[in-house]
Each structure stands twice: as structure tokens, then as C-alpha cells.
Amino acid sequence: MAEGASEGKDGRGEGSGFLRFQHRAMATMFEVMTAGEEPGFAGGAARAAFEEIDRIEQELSRYSPNSDIARINNLEPHGSVRVGLETFQCLKLSLMYWEETGGAFDVTLGALMECWVAKDKSLLRPTPDEVARAVGRTGMRSLALDEASMSVSIGAAVPLIDLGAVGKGYAVDRAVELLKEWGVGSALVHGGTSSVFAFGKLGGEPGWPVTLSDPDRTTEVIERVILADSGLGGSGIKKGRHIIDPRTAAPVDGRRAAWVISESAARSDALSTACMVMTEKEIRAMVSRDGRLRAALVGGNTGNPVRFGGWSTA
């Protein structure tokens, strides 16, 4: 259930108040913020949304021994297993995003992450043989999805799937669907502030004001945007954390943060992760193919973002 509710203002004058509800899931804090709703009704809708997020977490977490993802990761070579609707849909979306990014987004990256990144997020120094073995377990081509039987099959190598770069966004999207089914007219839902979706209006704004902050200096606002009926995903590197490029099987330097706005939190989540390793030319081409996409990057020591697509700033 919701851990608490509070009233807030976005700093833009009277009439812009909102209700905020919090709930811990997926190793982070989720929030539902509603505007223009009666507190009792809003609280009930938020609790229902959080229950949905908890249910999805049990399906998607590779750390839950009975989850669909854990069962896939524990298959024998050439094995197959039936999965639930959420797992199948999330893997289907992951395959689409893998294709869209030319392999820059890959949920089978778990073995490479364990090879390169320690539990404290420091960078390890694996041997070439260790990297080669991890590469052998990596690649979306190792997965075969059968929609008729809702099953997932693997090849000779057993991948280590981790939906951390898309699962929170997927859960946010599902929570938004539920809030709309309840009849909530205006809300913002986020998971750990990095996976966001907003619909409706807040106060006199055409949407919900959102700020993008530097991952190293969280009080430094890089951009202010109005999020309206769209999702926002953010990925970043804090000190001691590293991003692995699945196409090169090596860590990437020179980029501190990336954000993507799209039609869903799941897609924004996945593409922002991919933008941490894609070249600016690749990102520009991706954004140009879909007018719904917006992307922004921060690299090196500068806090000035490089923007792709037309941003609606606040």
C-alpha cells in the first residue's frame, strides 16, 4: 500500500497543488502524484497502482527465484518455458528496442555486467577469456518468443536477462493505465525519478513541469520541460558507476547522462540507456525516424546538454 501521502505545489502559484503518494518497489521509490482529485479517491487509485507494480516486480525481477525471468535464466541449453503476459510483453518490447537501437539496448547484458562491474559499482579488470565467455551468453538473438504459446526459448548459450533498464518504465506505464481506468484525470508517475510518465495538466500548465538534473550535481538543473501525455527516461553515471556497450562488450567513457522523451515510459527508459552508448550520429538518425522522440545528452565535464528533436521547455 502507499507509504504516505502529502500535498505539494510546483512553485507556479495557487491552484497548482497536487497529492503525492509513495511506495517502495524494484529497489527504488515509486511516486504517484495526482492533481484535481479528492484525497480519498486519489489514495485508493494510488494504492491500486502500487499493487500492480508489486505484482509486475514478482514477474520481472531476476532476483526473485520464482519469477519468469529467473526461470529463463535457469534454463538448460535449447530450453523453453512458458511465461506470463507481463514478462512476454516486456521481452517483446525489449526486442523491438534492441532492433531500433542497432543492438545498443540489450536486456541479455547480465553476464557482461557481472564481468565488468563489481557489487560496489567499481570497475573490474576481467581477462580476455572472461569477457569472451560473457559475450557468449549475451545477445537478443539467443531468445525466441512464441506468442501463440506465450513461451520463451533459448539456444545453446543460456543468457542472463536483466530487465532493470526497461522494467521500471514498463511498470510505470501499467500503473498509468490503471489510474486512467480508475478515472484519474491528471497524474505523474515515476520510479526512482528516472522512469516517468505524466498525463493531464497541473495548474495552468499544459502538462507537468519536470526538471532534468546533472547526475553528479543533483541540485544543478540542466533542463526544465513540460511533460504531457508522454514518458521520460533518464540514464546516468555517478562516480564509480559504469555503462557497458553490448556491441563492443566494454565500458563506455565520456558521457554522464542521457534522457529520452517518447510515447511511453518503457521506451523512454530503454532508449535513454541506449543513448549512453550510441554515437550522436546514431541518436540523431533514430530521433529523425520518429517525430515523437526527443533526446538530450550530457558528456565530459560540461553541464550543457546536446539536444535532438524539438524540446518543449518550461
Model confidence over 180-202: pLDDT tens digits? Answer: 999 999 999 999 989 999 999 99
Rounded Cα distance between 302 and 97, Å, is 29
Q: Give helix then strand counts, H and E, for the chain.
A: 8, 16
CB 35 within 8 Å of CB 9: no
Categorize the per-residue pLDDT at 294 as very low, low, confident or very high, splitting at 50, 70 and 90: very high
Residue 90: closest CA among 275, 274, 287, 265: 265
SS3 253: coil
CB atoms within 10 A of CB 141: 13
Domains of the chain: 75-154 (1.10.3980.10)
Residue 312 pLDDT = 61
Residues recorded for the chain: 314
Residue 213 pLDDT = 83
Single-letter amino acid code for the residue at 272: S
Q: Which residue has the cell 497524474?
A: 187
pTM: 0.91
81 - beta bridge partners?
Answer: 152
> Cell for 127?
581477462
Q: DSSP string spanning 74-130?
A: TPPTT-EEE--HHHHHHHHHHHHHHHHTTTS--TTBHHHHHHHB-TTS-B----HHH
Model confidence over 78-127: pLDDT tens digits? Answer: 999 999 999 999 999 999 999 999 999 999 999 999 999 888 888 899 99
CB atoms within 10 A of CB 20: 17
Q: What percent of the chain has pLDDT over 90?
A: 75
Between the CA of residue 103 and those of 64, 67, 273, what are the distances in Å? 27, 25, 12
Model confidence over 197-212: pLDDT tens digits? Answer: 999 999 888 999 999 8
Rounded Cα distance between 33 and 56, Å, is 20
Instruction: Give the chain's end-to-end CA distance (angstroms, integer).
Output: 33
Model confidence over 20-42: pLDDT tens digits? Answer: 999 999 999 999 999 999 999 99
